[in-house]
Amino acid sequence: MTPSSLGGRLLAEPIREFGRAGIFLVTAFARMRFGRLQLGEILRQVYFVGARSLVIIVICGFFVGLVLTLQTHDTLTRFGAGDAVSTVLALSLFRELAPVLTAILFAGRAGTSITAEIGLMKATEQLDALDLMAIDPMERIVQPRLLAGVLAVPALVMVFNVTALLGGVFFSVYLMGSDPIVFWSKMQASVELGKDFMGGLLKSAVFGFLVSWLAVYFGWSAKPTSEGVALATTQTVITSAIAVLLMDFVLTAFML
Amino acid sequence: MPDTLAASDSSAAAIRLDNVTLARGDRAVLTGFSLAIPAGKVTAVMGPSGCGKTTVLKLITGQLRPDKGQVWVGDIEVNRLRGADLNALRRDIGVLLQNGALFTDLTCFDNVALPLREHTKLPEPLIRRLVLLKLQTVGLRGAAALYPRELSGGMNRRVAMARAMALDPAVMLYDEPFAGLDPISLGASVRLIREINGALGITSVVITHDVAEVQKFADHCCIIAEGRVVASGTPDQLLDSDQEVVRQFMRGLPDGPVPFHFPARPLADELLAERA
């Protein structure tokens, strides 16, 4: 086998899968009737995916802030730039770490449960039952979950930001004895609300959309067996992580 | 063969499959298949596993489309319907799927209310009454606030029955409604199917292979084998049939026209080949 044909074979299936996921998404949107968007169901899903991810986001956010400050404090003090800790912390958090890590944690926590839920609905004929009751499963199941991701992830990113800053403050101000006024004023001076903070939120909305799209798609296309659902949840996590990092690069390149 | 409803005599047929051919992948499931379901009666569709019973049900509901032939429900040709028209038809057909397929995140009440809320503009107090009446019919009004996971499999199926008839359909389809039920639940289901059919004056189709039960509820009975209807008539007529396939099926004989063994080369050849 020539290297090119091997490469072709390895690439063909992911490209096909991407095509299928794209068609799925277009179908989901084509069937969207804005007059009939089920606000109640969307909010219920935001609550499910958001509230379920809250604990892990708070814990991870706090420790990320803590360790980031620990690393930068040590290095920056060595060069006499200890004051810049809060700048580094805030910029790296708002621009990159919070959106990316939240999205990946969201994929692991909420994405997998969306995939498993839809996969099991398929296995237990619940999707068929909707179809037979003349209720469009795309409208009832897929659309609310897609939109919920777009709303929930930015909200979670804000929570992540807050807890990570608290972690940073805890380490820098309370453990290392930095001046809190310097800490906050340096941060305030260097962070731009639009570019840094809102830019991060915009990214996170895209990531939220990406992750819930993949989660819903893999659940929808899962084989209706236990192995099928298990495989689908794994695919959701792996593909989401890759897609988020890739999209992060693309978005950052455009935003800078 | 005592067949009162051949495909040509369709005046009293509520559901009719005419000369339907359907293949899945390379395998032909139905070839030139014709079936007529009489209106206002309970018809049992029977046959060995894998003979295409569920396929017939999916053709009637428009989940599958025939490669050739037509499917009629009343005077509507199902295989031509798309989108909104198909949905309009489906509102008039209640389907009980094999395991009930209740929504696990909704209570029994909300499960039964779902089609009403989705397809009617009835005020909530009226929906409440309708749902409670439906649940009363299946004997589970007391379980309205419970989730499906809190009920037994048999009860789940009864709730699903209430949901299937929520919109008072003209046709009820039951896919293996007795599989895995204990004798009490089974008795209850058999009685319900009869009662619903009588009370609503509808047409019922029950897909089953429970020969013993069929006599208790079915007015009419079809046996499918090898992709076609091999016999139809009243359950008693079928029991007395001298056709070999029908006899094998009705009496549960392990071997016969439907073979016990999966096709294979002779055993002796296989064993000897191993030694060589």
Residue that is last in its domain, among B126, B149, B168: B168
B120 with B188, same domain: the answer is: no
| A16-A18-A24-A25 Cα dihedral, nearest 10 degrees | -160
- Positions of E strands within chain B: 13-24, 27-38, 42-46, 68-73, 76-77, 93-96, 171-175, 203-207, 220-225, 228-233
Task: For A214-246, write each residue's pLDDT tens digit.
Answer: 999 999 999 988 899 999 999 999 999 999 999
User: Which residue of chain A has the CA closest to B117?
Assistant: A135
Domain count, chain B: 2
Query: Is residue B2 one of the residues assigned to a domain?
Result: no
Q: Can you tell me the mean pLDDT for A196-209?
A: 93
A135 chain-B contacts, CB cut-off 8 A: 114-115, 118
| Among B78, B92, B99, the residue to mutate for chain A (most A Cβ within 10 A) | B99
Nearest Cα to A221, choosing from A39, A12, A2, A19?
A19
Residues 6+ apart with CB under 8 A from B81: B62, B89
B84 with B178, same domain: the answer is: yes
Parent domain of B162: 102-168
B177 with B193, same domain: the answer is: yes
The string of DSSP codes covering B242-270 is: --HHHHHHHHT-SSSSS-SSPS-S-HHHH
List chain B pLDDT tens, one digit each, 276 residues. Answer: 344 333 334 446 788 888 888 888 777 788 888 888 888 889 998 877 777 788 888 888 888 888 888 888 888 888 878 878 888 888 888 899 888 889 988 899 999 999 998 888 889 999 999 999 989 988 889 888 999 999 888 888 889 999 998 888 889 999 888 887 888 888 888 888 888 888 888 889 999 877 778 888 888 888 887 777 888 888 888 778 777 777 777 777 777 776 777 778 888 888 888 766
Q: What is the pLDDT of residue B125?
A: 92
Across the interface, whether the CB atoms of A129 and B87 are under 8 A apart is answered no
Q: Determine contact, residues B190/B115, Cβ cutoff 8 Å.
A: no
**If you count DSSP H runs as helices and E runs as strands, how many of each does chain A have, helices first?**
11, 0
ipTM of the modeled complex = 0.79
Is B157's Cβ below 8 Å from some Cβ in A?
Answer: no
Count of CB pairs separated by less than 8 Å, A with B: 45
Question: What is the CATH number for B62?
Answer: 3.40.50.300
Task: For A52-98, write each residue's pLDDT tens digit.
Answer: 899 999 999 999 999 999 999 888 888 888 888 889 999 999 999 99
Q: What is the pLDDT of residue A4?
A: 67
Query: Is residue A156 one of the residues assigned to a domain?
Result: yes
Nearest Cα to B28, choosing from B55, B58, B62?
B55
Query: Is residue A176 one of the residues assigned to a domain?
Result: yes
Is A126's Cβ below 8 Å from some Cβ in B?
Answer: yes
Residue that is last in its domain, among B168, B184, B202: B168
Q: What is the pLDDT of residue A185?
A: 92
Q: What is the pLDDT of residue A36?
A: 64
Is B57's Cβ below 8 Å from some Cβ in A?
Answer: no
Pairing of strands B93-96, B171-175: parallel
Q: What is the pLDDT of residue A39?
A: 82
| Among B118, B124, B134, B147, the residue to mutate for chain A (most A Cβ within 10 A) | B118
Task: State the average pLDDT for chain A.
Answer: 90
A132 chain-B contacts, CB cut-off 8 A: 61, 63, 90, 93, 95, 97
B37 with B158, same domain: the answer is: no
Query: What is d(CA B20, CA B70) in angstroms, rounded to the nearest whole number?
Result: 6
B90 chain-A contacts, CB cut-off 8 A: 131-134
